[in-house]
Structure 1
Amino acid sequence: MVSRTGKKEISKTMTMNDHITQFLHYLSVKNFSPRTIEAYQHDLSKFVEFLESLNRANVKTVSRDDIGLFLSHLKNEGYKKPNSAITMARKIASIKSFFKWLTRRKVLKENPAIDIETPKIPEREPSYLTQEEYQRLLATVKFKATPYYCLRDLAIVGMFLGTGVRLSELVGLKLENINLQESQESICVRGKGNKERTIPLNANVLNALATYLKKRPEVESKFLFLSRLGDGLSTGGVYHLIKRYLKEADIKKEKVGVHSLRHTFATSLLNNQNVNIIHIQQLLGHKKLETTRRYLHINDLDLRNAVNSLVLTKK
């Protein structure tokens, strides 16, 4: 539809779902990860469903109170298990980003979500494995898996423990991302914000990887790690694979999972006094140094011992 001025009257005829589709396209153009875009899509679709149940699914008339009602609904109604602070924070972030985008595009004059507060997320110390635990994990993979899957899964676990890659980064690895040239052995991963980083490979990872590659089927798929059908692995598949091995290895820790292996990599490096925390930040692909600091596992006794070790005057 075109007005007398010749301008397209887009916002007057578009539904909220139409705006969400454009918003998700914008995120894709800005190189947000598919996983992040999927989360935004899920959160915003639930928001629209709720507004439709109240007959208020009009982007022009959504109010702060409507958003507040939706958040109350998430906490109290229709959910067997209440949403955690982390989940609530993500859903609020999705809504705030969407309305901020609408305001910037002049679809809305005022942002109804601008004053919505994000719940404070309790900071948990990252869960990581001790040397005995990750040795037990590797032994479990060797014992439990069939010959081919043993080689693949040992390479996967070794990659997590030896490079600290994220789950999405590992399943996205392709053969072209592997550099096995002598003295330059490394992988190139695409992390958050579509940023690339190079991670060196140590002897243990190289050995596991080389052994797997010798037995890797010759298929069209260019992904490094293959499923039973010969295509790339899914994040869900690897997530459940690692959870199963951790359970079979009898590693019982709170929130232990794939991310614990990444934490183990970071913690092992930090325990090496010769490794600079800035280097670890780069290897992990952390945007903020504060995120890397969480792996220090400093307690009150460590702080007291550090202070007591200072020698300021000669005896």
Structure 2
Amino acid sequence: MPPESTPASIHLSAQSSFLPAIQAWEQYLQDQARSLYTIKAFTGDLELFASYLPPDRTLGAVTTRDINHFLQWLQTGRKVPCSPKSLARRVTSLKAFFRWLTKYGVLLVDPAEKVLQQTVISPLPQVLTVEEQAKVLEIANRYRTAKKPDARPYTLTALLLASGIKKGECLGIHQNHIDLDTPDGPVLFIRYPEPHNRYKERKINLPGEWVGAYHEYLAQYQPTSQVFAWSPRRLEYILEDLGSAAGLSKHLSFDMCRWTCALNDYRTGTEADQIRQKLGISKIQWREIGLKLRKLAENEADSPPAV
């Protein structure tokens, strides 16, 4: 007996065409509280696959060979380039779609089950060396003691290097998310308004030396609730300008600070699961990130010492 049908798949059968199946799949993903980006990407991949097949091809008529030919066409037969990362996502989309159809009894056999998953590891990210971090924070400190003091560059950059938070998380920080009076020192609470992102919420310890700059920043800019009440691009400019002032050849960014923070923790022997939780990522995401951190640390060990 097939499992009980979901509301999204109840009107589908092996003789159904792709259009109602993709619409039902989209509804199912929405019911699962998947992100808008995921839903758009997955349904777009299925629409592309459907357009590749003959117009009268039904769900039950799709074979493993059809899927493999489609993937080969994406790589060599289509005029639009398909990156390894996009190819891997499209394999994931097809596998998830046909697994859903099989699970709920629309299909008896999953044609995507034997399709090989494409594993893609993107290039290693750029990180700051220990010396570069010290230089960046030194320049940021100079702004704090300038004739016209500005604690914003230091408050922002030191927070990113200590916490490893993403740009969106940084923008979402409100003053009541920072507790300076806990017995174990200052902490930052990362909160998400969306229910499906609640698993990313976490508490991150902050260095005590950051607190002084934070108080200066509050006094200078007097934010009402949101700590960094600026546009994303404005905050990016602050990092870019700071990197230039520090003489970096690298492009200082939120992502670079996030990876640098993770590598700092990795260097000091912090347990892998603690780093994963601090970054707010899943165990599946950690597989690739953990490999990259290990490679970054190995590359650092192989590099000649700075003169």
Structure-2-length-normalised TM-score: 0.68
Q: Is the 8 A contact 1:75 1:83 kept in 2?
A: yes
Shift of 1:198: 0.9
The whole-number CA distance in structure 1 between the counterparts of 2:44 and 2:262 is: 36
The whole-number CA distance in structure 2 between the counterparts of 1:73 and 1:224 is: 49
The whole-number CA distance in structure 2 between the counterparts of 1:110 and 1:174 is: 51
Match of 2:265 among 262, 269, 277: 269
Per the alignment, residue 225 of structure 1 pairs with 228
Q: Is the 8 A contact 1:64 1:112 kept in 2?
A: yes
> SS at 1:120's partner residue?
coil
Shift of 1:251: 3.7
The whole-number CA distance in structure 1 between the counterparts of 2:23 and 2:38 is: 17
Shift of 1:104: 1.9
The whole-number CA distance in structure 2 between the counterparts of 1:103 and 1:240 is: 46
Per the alignment, residue 26 of structure 1 pairs with 31
Deviations 1:11-65 (A, max 9, x none): 259713412321321331xxx4x3xx40342243143045236554866244434
Per the alignment, residue 198 of structure 2 pairs with 194
The whole-number CA distance in structure 2 between the counterparts of 1:163 and 1:91 is: 33
Shift of 1:181: 2.4
Is residue 260 from structure 1 mapped to residue 256 from structure 2 by the alignment? yes
Q: Is the 8 A contact 1:88 1:119 kept in 2?
A: yes
- Superposition pairs for residues 130-279 of structure 1, below 5 Å? 130-138=129-137, 139=139, 151-152=151-152, 154-183=154-183, 184-189=185-190, 194-195=198-199, 196-214=201-219, 215-218=221-224, 223-228=226-231, 233=232, 237=233, 241=237, 244-245=240-241, 248=244, 251-252=248-249, 257-272=253-268, 275-279=270-274
Q: State the AA in 1 paired with 2:188.
A: I
Q: State the AA in 2 paired with 1:295.
A: L
The whole-number CA distance in structure 1 between the counterparts of 2:118 and 2:140 is: 40
The alpha-carbon distance between structure 1 residues 251 and 62, as it changes in their structure 2 partners (threshold 3 A), is farther
> SS at 1:203's partner residue?
coil
The alpha-carbon distance between structure 1 residues 200 and 142, as it changes in their structure 2 partners (threshold 3 A), is same
The whole-number CA distance in structure 2 between the counterparts of 1:246 and 1:48 is: 45
The alpha-carbon distance between structure 1 residues 75 and 27, as it changes in their structure 2 partners (threshold 3 A), is farther
Q: How many residues align?
A: 273
Shift of 1:115: 1.7
The whole-number CA distance in structure 2 between the counterparts of 1:193 and 1:43 is: 19
The whole-number CA distance in structure 1 between the counterparts of 2:160 and 2:300 is: 31
The whole-number CA distance in structure 1 between the counterparts of 2:153 and 2:108 is: 53
Q: State the AA in 1 paired with 2:131.
A: E
Q: State the AA in 2 paired with 1:266.
A: A
Shift of 1:163: 0.7
The alpha-carbon distance between structure 1 residues 178 and 83, as it changes in their structure 2 partners (threshold 3 A), is farther
* Moved segments of 4+, more than 6 Å: 140-143, 300-303
The alpha-carbon distance between structure 1 residues 118 and 206, as it changes in their structure 2 partners (threshold 3 A), is farther
Q: Is the 8 A contact 1:175 1:224 kept in 2?
A: yes
Q: Where do 5+ consecutive residues of structure 1 fail to align?
A: 1-6, 304-315
Q: State the AA in 2 paired with 1:261.
A: C
Is residue 284 from structure 1 mapped to residue 279 from structure 2 by the alignment? yes
> SS at 2:202's partner residue?
strand
Shift of 1:177: 2.6
Q: State the AA in 2 paired with 1:10.
A: H
Q: Is the 8 A contact 2:140 2:153 kept in 1?
A: no
Shift of 1:202: 1.0
> SS at 2:189's partner residue?
strand
- Superposition pairs for residues 55-94 of structure 1, below 5 Å? 55-56=54-55, 60=59, 61-76=61-76, 77-79=78-80, 82-94=81-93
| Cα-Cα RMSD | 4.2
The whole-number CA distance in structure 2 between the counterparts of 1:171 and 1:70 is: 41
The whole-number CA distance in structure 1 between the counterparts of 2:20 and 2:214 is: 50
The whole-number CA distance in structure 1 between the counterparts of 2:127 and 2:50 is: 42
The whole-number CA distance in structure 2 between the counterparts of 1:257 and 1:90 is: 26
Structure-1-length-normalised TM-score: 0.66
Which segment is superposed worse, 130-139 or 241-250? Answer: 241-250
The whole-number CA distance in structure 2 between the counterparts of 1:78 and 1:102 is: 30
Shift of 1:268: 2.0
